């Protein structure tokens, strides 16, 4: 297999300025980055990922002041949240400026914006001199990549100009998405929890995930079958009559006993942040044709556990 070239920060910035697409590290997952102002680069991102154009992209910036470059009518709540949680794993949805192509936002009048905390991502954005649209660097609906090797394994020979290796992602699930168009609403849970957002802006709603295929989505990652490995994954308590296949593996959490011994454990001590950082890597490790089924233990639906539950429900087979 011929992998795309491993690329330096300076080369990545040059390639991005030239309108090409490069995989870059962030603290959440690896992103497939392109110039957010350039429709051809955006089209290439959709093509490489095989992502439908009704699923909008997140624009990445490297200074809070750049929010005004890509959005307008910015409420005070946005600056308050930015001050509290940027740089970091939180995306805000705000009214877009005309300089952001409709392709980036799936034709919506709003745009998703994030200021990542990963120093390599920040340096690349700074040197590219443009904001970068960057969804996760994986095939659409597949497991998101938390290492450069995951990116290479999924996207080799698909038109990537390069991959910047910034080590494993320390958050490990996609950013929280909060819409500030109208009443503050969490559209996708993540490491910045609804409670953390409410502490800054007061009341915040949490939207249940429902996808409407073919219609523009209010935010990225809203499909009901997102983040799915190729090996069937079952999350939660198995029905009593369910017969396990012979080649079954289990991702455990804490010291909960399971129907089969643990193959891997997200966190033996029940540490939610450790579990979050490991989830996608473990799904990659067990996404192997030698296995017939991946079982995943239930995780408490509190704090960042809401993000884990959200991703696992989308990844799981519906029985």
Percent of the chain with pLDDT over 70: 92
pLDDT 10s digits, 19-74: 999 999 999 999 999 999 999 999 899 989 988 777 899 999 999 999 999 999 99
**140-176 per-residue burial string, b: 16 or more CB within 10 A, e: under 16:** ebbbbbbbbebbbebbeeeebbbbbbbebbbbbbbbb
Question: What's the whole-number average pLDDT of the chain?
Answer: 89
Dump pLDDT digits (tens) for 157-207. Answer: 888 999 999 999 999 888 999 999 999 999 999 999 999 999 999 999 998
The distance between the two most distant Cα atoms of the chain, rounded to a whole number of Å, is 58
Over residues 272-313, the pLDDT tens digits come to 878 877 887 898 889 999 999 999 999 988 877 887 887 788
C-beta separation of 282 from 262 below 8 A: no
- For residue 245, say if its preceding peptide bond is cis, omega within 30 degrees of 0: no
Closest CA to 187 of 280, 295, 91: 91
Task: Find, among 312, 75, 298, 275, the residue nearest to 191 by Cα.
Answer: 275
Helix then strand then coil, in percent of the chain rounded to 5, is 30, 15, 55
Phi-psi region of 8 (alpha: psi -120 to 50; beta: other; left: phi over 0): beta
What 8-state DSSP symbol labels residue 219?
Answer: S
Enumerate domains of the chain plus CATH numbers: 9-206 (3.90.870.10), 233-315 (no CATH)
SS3 assignment, position 96: strand
Task: Give the rounded distance of the alpha carbon of 38 from its chain centre.
Answer: 22
- Distance CA(16)–CA(249), nearest Å, equals 41
pLDDT at 140 exceeding the cut of 60 = yes
Quote the Cα angle for 4-8-14, to 5°: 90
The 10s digit of each residue's pLDDT in 303-316 is 778 878 877 887 88
pTM greater than the 0.85 cutoff: no
């Amino acid at each position: 297999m011929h992998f795309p070239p491993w690329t330096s920060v300076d080369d990545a910035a040059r390639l991005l300025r030239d309108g090409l697409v490069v995989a870059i590290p962030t603290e959440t997952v690896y992103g497939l980055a392109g110039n957010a102002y350039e429709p051809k680069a955006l089209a290439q991102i959709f093509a490489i990922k095989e992502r439908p154009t009704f699923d909008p992209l997140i624009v990445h910036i490297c200074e809070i002041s750049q929010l005004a470059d890509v959005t307008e009518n910015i409420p005070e709540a946005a600056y308050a949240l930015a001050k509290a949680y940027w740089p970091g794993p939180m995306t805000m949805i705000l009214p877009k400026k005309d300089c952001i192509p409709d392709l980036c936002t799936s034709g919506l009048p709003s745009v998703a914006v994030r200021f990542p905390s990963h120093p390599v991502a920040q340096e690349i954005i700074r040197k590219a001199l443009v904001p970068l649209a960057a969804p996760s660097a994986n095939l659409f609906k597949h497991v998101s990549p938390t290492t450069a090797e995951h990116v290479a394994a999924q996207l080799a020979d698909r038109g990537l100009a390069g991959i910047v290796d910034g080590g494993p992602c320390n958050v490990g699930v996609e950013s929280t998405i909060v819409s500030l168009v109208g009443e503050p609403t969490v559209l996708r849970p993540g490491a910045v929890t609804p409670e953390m957002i409410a502490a800054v802006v007061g009341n915040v709603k949490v939207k249940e995930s429902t996808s409407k295929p073919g219609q523009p989505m209010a935010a990225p990652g809203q499909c009901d079958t997102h983040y799915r490995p190729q090996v069937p994954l079952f999350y939660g308590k198995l029905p009593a009559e369910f017969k396990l296949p012979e080649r079954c593996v289990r991702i455990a959490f804490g010291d909960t006993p399971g129907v089969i011994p643990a193959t891997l454990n997200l966190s033996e001590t029940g540490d939610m942040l450790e579990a979050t950082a490991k989830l996608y890597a473990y799904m990659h490790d067990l996404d192997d044709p030698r296995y017939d089924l991946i079982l995943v233990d239930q995780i408490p639906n509190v704090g960042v556990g809401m993000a884990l539950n959200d991703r696992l429900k989308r990844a799981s087979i519906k029985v």
